[in-house]
Chains A and B, each alone.
Chain A
């Protein structure tokens, strides 16, 4: 199957500061990929490279095109929401519909109007008169009505309250996503999106430290709460992280046999947030990519 995004050795520096150090990506159609990393890890730089918004070294194909030289054609099939602040404040809702309908050949105005009809957003309002949540709804209405193959979301729910965040992702799944479309999303709120992701990518210091389908996480990682007396035996298996939870040790293992761990105590599949915390610790060696290993 042709990859939606295929990157080999992406590198980029801002002055003396490296932002990307040889990033490899392979995103297949019909996936919802979470690109997760701490501040300054290089998430936004990866996204800017994919969207042709910044220069970089290395090979990158998005929908088979080079974003550096074919950005104009690419944007017919790619949509993105950078964050809630980018809709111009002077723009009226009706003007936003008129404009996108006029310039985007894949925009379905009726669909956008139907979406907006379910909100409190009036067509004669300007963006500056809308709340932050409403601006996001408007942006989402515009984007969901575009028949794009790739949707890129960079911190799309930043600064929104829980209700808006939840409804944002619900709408994304119900009104947009299907097997033909691909979503790449970066966010800090890992817990809220881990249930909708099909793949997770961790990036740290400009390098990919984890790239795995969600269903493979359970096979590869295990969180063990060892029974009393088994703690030292568990430690001998070299957990990648150990925390105290209510006075008991909770250890995270990478690549250990589940049966081996179950013999030592209670085992469960760690959440993406648990993995994130464990893997982003200073001094932690980069993990092997599941896809690369495969």
Chain B
């Protein structure tokens, strides 16, 4: 176990982008949000709106407008908007960071077993009592366990910072009463949902990660092209020769199919409905079904494919002699 922990640490020593890039990305999100809260919104909103603590304090509104604003606030509170804003801002930030982390992990996976052959450092690692199984699994663990957990933690911290900034600017105001009302239970529920999404995502994406790892150990050069060209070329060839798009559908399902499998109801995200103050938090949380993925044959066929590809990766690293 200690060896595995050290192997994982080693990956973060070598591939510093694994932790630096998401941190920088989270920093950009915080800075842009702070700019939005403190500069853009106050500049563009009608004067006095954000400072008002009661509807009566907003100047320049007709009685009808005041009544509409009052109604909107009541509706918002009735629809748990304070709680929803906590949950959704968390999920939104998580999605922003995890999407970015996916790109970072993609480059990590195609690089991790390729670079050690290119710079011949594989001979140093192979001079130590480490099995190829340990080495390959440590890299997979970084991509499918350590980084996803890091994403949730980073998203949680980012959201707490953003909430604090928002609260500092708007607390005690009408807007703050609606949007900056901290609710720990809502936050925790969003955290659980995010973990559920990540768990399903990791299971769903396991074969894709294993495929990139296999390319990394197999390709003698141009590993990036090997990683992306088949995703574009195979559907194009199928379309050209057979006028069908089965491969494209398959690829699409392998990338985003778990959202559907989790039964995430798109209507729960329907924040644009005019008469609604926003999606009810209960709807989105109740609609998430981890079992949709865990009990799906498609997910486990993918995991089985991942196991085969990881096994092939280990064998190639062990026996290929191109050092």
- Which one of A81, A91, A103 has the highest number of Cβ atoms from chain B below 10 Å of its Cβ? A103
Q: B60: CB under 8 A from chain A? A: no
Known: A87-B124, A88-B119, A102-B6. A76 touches B319 (CB 8 A): no
Partner among B7, B116, B129 whose Cβ is within 8 Å of the Cβ of A104: B129
User: Contact at B14–A90, with CB atoms within 8 Å?
Assistant: yes
User: Contact at B119–A103, with CB atoms within 8 Å?
Assistant: no
User: Contact at B129–A75, with CB atoms within 8 Å?
Assistant: yes
Determine chain A's interface SS by DSSP, over half rule: mixed
Q: Which residues of A contact B7 (CB under 8 A)?
A: 103
Q: A246: CB under 8 A from chain B? A: no
Known: A55-B321, A99-B6. A86 touches B129 (CB 8 A): no
For the A-B complex, the count of residue pairs with Cβ-Cβ distances under 8 Å equals 72
Q: Which residue of A lies closest to B15 (CB)?
A: A90
User: Contact at A80–B127, with CB atoms within 8 Å?
Assistant: yes
Shortest Cβ distance from residue B219 to the other chain A in the assembled complex, whole angstroms: 19
User: Contact at A75–B123, with CB atoms within 8 Å?
Assistant: no
Q: A72: CB under 8 A from chain B? A: yes
Shortest Cβ distance from residue A58 to the other chain B in the assembled complex, whole angstroms: 16
Known: A55-B321, A102-B3. A87 touches B121 (CB 8 A): yes
Q: B126: CB under 8 A from chain A? A: yes
Q: Which residue of B lies closest to A152 (CB)?
A: B127
Determine chain B's interface SS by DSSP, over half rule: helix
Q: B54: CB under 8 A from chain A? A: no
User: Contact at B129–A92, with CB atoms within 8 Å?
Assistant: no
Partner among A51, A54, A91, A105 whose Cβ is within 8 Å of the Cβ of B13: A91
User: Contact at B3–A103, with CB atoms within 8 Å?
Assistant: yes
Q: Which residues of B contact A105 (CB under 8 A)?
A: 129
Q: Which residues of A contact B10 (CB under 8 A)?
A: 95, 99
Flag A136-154 by CB within 8 Å of B: 1 or 0 each.
0001000000000000000
Known: A53-B321, A54-B321, A102-B3. A79 touches B127 (CB 8 A): yes
Shortest Cβ distance from residue A99 to the other chain B in the assembled complex, whole angstroms: 6
Shortest Cβ distance from residue B287 to the other chain A in the assembled complex, whole angstroms: 45
C-alpha spacing A102/B116, complex, angstroms:
20
Q: Which residues of B contact A104 (CB under 8 A)?
A: 128-129
Partner among B2, B14, B319 whose Cβ is within 8 Å of the Cβ of A102: B2
Shortest Cβ distance from residue A176 to the other chain B in the assembled complex, whole angstroms: 15
Q: A89: CB under 8 A from chain B? A: yes
Q: B99: CB under 8 A from chain A? A: no
C-alpha spacing A95/B6, complex, angstroms:
10
Q: Which residue of A lies closest to B125 (CB)?
A: A88
Partner among B124, B127, B321 whose Cβ is within 8 Å of the Cβ of A48: B321
Shortest Cβ distance from residue B21 to the other chain A in the assembled complex, whole angstroms: 16
Q: A160: CB under 8 A from chain B? A: no
Q: Which residues of B contact A72 (CB under 8 A)?
A: 129-131
Q: Which residues of A contact B120 (CB under 8 A)?
A: 82, 85-86
Q: A193: CB under 8 A from chain B? A: no
Q: List 26 A-B contacts (CB under 8 A).
A: A53-B126, A53-B321, A53-B323, A73-B129, A75-B126, A75-B128, A75-B129, A75-B130, A76-B129, A80-B123, A82-B120, A82-B124, A82-B127, A85-B119, A85-B120, A86-B121, A86-B123, A86-B124, A87-B121, A88-B116, A89-B121, A91-B13, A95-B13, A102-B2, A103-B6, A103-B128
Interface residues of A (CB under 8 A from B): 48, 51, 53-55, 71-73, 75-76, 79-82, 85-92, 95, 98-100, 102-105, 139
